[in-house]
């Protein structure tokens, strides 16, 4: 049984704005019925002020999907499009007093629908990221772009988190390796963006930073380098470059860092290289 908050239950049993909006001039569709979750977000936007006057939705999915859609409309009515663009999936979840980790993808679906609706209003065509090799999860139609946005917006660092936030890999599991490769690539290319979110939620962040700062001069002396990507739930992910990339001594370096971290934090820490 999922541990739902009272607000989630309220927005599921008494959804706000679950209706078709007449004269909607911004519509965003995400998901699909075949995948188990689908959301159509409809907005009536004032052309002069670009203020969202009305918002409605039609959702096919679980209670969390309906509650997240309801919460989204409450968050954006009365806001300008520029303000609505700043609404994150975490704010949707927070508005509902939290969602179970396995249901966070429902809040992400709401954010994606809002993104699509605003693009529709502006006459923009969202880039089709289903290029060859970019479609990661065939079961739920999740592409690399969706995973990238979820990772960078929420500081995701593990396969389990990506599944919870996007549903990718939650079906047949055949794409798990693709997800892990995509995740490693995203964290390696965007270490600062991912680190900022992670720093805010992990109590051991500064201790890890201090340990790596102590270790780096020794690594750099041998022509290598190490960058911190994330700290989450006792798992530290680092990026190795230079002579450290593919070095036979990599395991020893990670083991040294792991030992130092356990001495500093007083708890078990797992160190992995992306």
Active-site amino acid positions:
35, 106
β-bridge pairing 142-143 and 135-137: antiparallel
Looking up tokens 């739930």, which residue turns up? 233
What gap in Å lies between CA 93 and CA 232, rounded to an integer? 19
Report d(CA 10, CA 261) in Å as an integer. 44
- Residue 170's nearest CA partner among 211, 138, 196 is 138
159-166 vs 144-154: helix crossing angle, rounded to 10: 110
Q: Is 267 strand, coil or helix?
A: coil
Distances (CA, A) of 211 to 22, 84, 163, 247, 256: 58, 40, 30, 21, 10
251 alpha-carbon distance from chain centroid: 29
Q: For the chain, report the end-to-end CA distance as a whole number of angstroms.
A: 34
């Amino acid at each position: 049984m999922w541990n739902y908050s009272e607000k989630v239950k309220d927005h599921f049993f008494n959804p706000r704005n679950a209706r078709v909006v007449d004269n909607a001039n911004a519509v965003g569709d995400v998901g699909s019925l075949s995948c188990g979750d689908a959301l159509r977000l409809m907005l009536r936007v004032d052309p002069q002020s670009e203020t969202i006057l009305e918002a409605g939705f039609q959702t096919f999915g679980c209670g969390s999907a309906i509650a997240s859609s309801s919460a989204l409309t409450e968050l954006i009515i009365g806001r300008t499009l520029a303000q609505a663009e700043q609404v994150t999936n975490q704010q949707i979840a927070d508005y509902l007093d939290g969602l179970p980790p396995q249901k966070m993808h429902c809040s992400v679906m709401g954010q994606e629908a809002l993104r699509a609706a605003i693009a529709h209003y502006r006459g923009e065509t969202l880039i089709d990221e289903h290029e060859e090799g970019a479609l990661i999860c065939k079961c739920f139609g999740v592409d690399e772009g969706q995973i990238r946005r979820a990772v960078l917006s929420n500081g995701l660092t593990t396969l389990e988190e990506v599944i919870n936030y996007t549903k990718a890999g939650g079906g047949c599991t055949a794409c798990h390796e693709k997800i892990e490769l995509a995740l490693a690539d995203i964290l390696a290319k965007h270490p600062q963006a991912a680190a900022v979110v992670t720093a805010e939620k992990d109590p051991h962040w500064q201790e890890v930073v201090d340990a790596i700062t102590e270790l780096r001069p020794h690594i750099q002396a041998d022509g290598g380098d190490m960058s911190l990507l994330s700290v989450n739930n006792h798992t530290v992910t680092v990026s190795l470059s230079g002579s450290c990339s593919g070095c036979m001594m990599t395991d020893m370096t990670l083991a040294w860092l792991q030992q130092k971290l356990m001495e500093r934090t007083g708890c078990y820490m797992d160190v992995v290289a992306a």
